[in-house]
Structure 1
């Protein structure tokens, strides 16, 4: 296997892991939260946080590294418009993702306390979940656009 095939495989697998884990945890966390069942919410948020640590975070690191190495190997100019757009969208996604991670940790902690004490989730938890939901959409759209840019490599501006 040559360097290009290895790097491209790593890049594609890490993007799949990043996108799939994000979409999967968002789906289960949101619909579990909507159930209102504190025990289920405590489990789902705990596992979402764990999935981010085990899968999403390494993929977030591997993506730009493997992308940069591929760019160098393929002799792409860093100033290529579709690469610049993809990089900006990636940074935008990260700017949405970091608060989402923080919110997940807080919701996880609040759900654990509510479960332990046999109480309902506090109003702050509901506010955090609404914010978490809202931040997820632009990040999701940005990642889809990055996929499109990587595949289409369109001429955007000159």
Structure 2
């Protein structure tokens, strides 16, 4: 496959990862401002769906297209910026599965509260806080990985 086509796929996957991920995150955060379990359940349902169908596959496209570009270019895997990018990518990825699980649990609890007409309990808010801070860490990593890829320098080379 042509290198420029791979680069295009890699960039589009990054846009989907960042765009859909950030959009989903912000919509779910915004849904919590009204503290209405019906709204939270509806938004959480969409977020879970989008993250499963769009954001997660984009992560795989990102990884595969990056691998293909490095292989096609004959770049050594020991390059500092590449090792840094992979370290950040897999660190953010390690947050992703727990985030997906938390979102699904939050969706179920919000649906139950909406169906029974009750408020969201302490368990729900504990899950939400964990999800919120994992999102902050994950998006911090995504900002960092874009910086690494643009500058072609590992974070430890900046100092």
Shorter chain as normaliser: what TM range? Answer: over 0.9
2:122 matches 1:118:
no
Instruction: Name the residue aligned to 2:106.
Output: 107
- For 2:52 and 2:95, locate their aligned partners in 1 and report how far apart those are by CA, in whole Å: 16
Instruction: Name the residue aligned to 1:31.
Output: 30
- Report the aligned-residue RMSD: 1.3
- For 2:119 and 2:136, locate their aligned partners in 1 and report how far apart those are by CA, in whole Å: 27
- With normalisation by structure 2, the TM-score equals 0.94
Instruction: Name the residue aligned to 1:90.
Output: 89
- For 1:7 and 1:60, locate their aligned partners in 2 and report how far apart those are by CA, in whole Å: 14
- For 1:71 and 1:154, locate their aligned partners in 2 and report how far apart those are by CA, in whole Å: 15
Instruction: Name the residue aligned to 2:17.
Output: 18
- With normalisation by structure 1, the TM-score equals 0.94
Counting matched residue pairs gives: 156
Deviation of 1:115 after TM superposition, in Å, equals 1.0
Unaligned runs of 5+ in 2: none
- For 1:154 and 1:85, locate their aligned partners in 2 and report how far apart those are by CA, in whole Å: 8
Instruction: Name the residue aligned to 2:137.
Output: 138
Deviation of 1:139 after TM superposition, in Å, equals 0.9
Unaligned runs of 5+ in 1: none
Question: Runs of 4 or more off by more than 4 Å in structure 1?
Answer: none
- For 2:118 and 2:140, locate their aligned partners in 1 and report how far apart those are by CA, in whole Å: 36
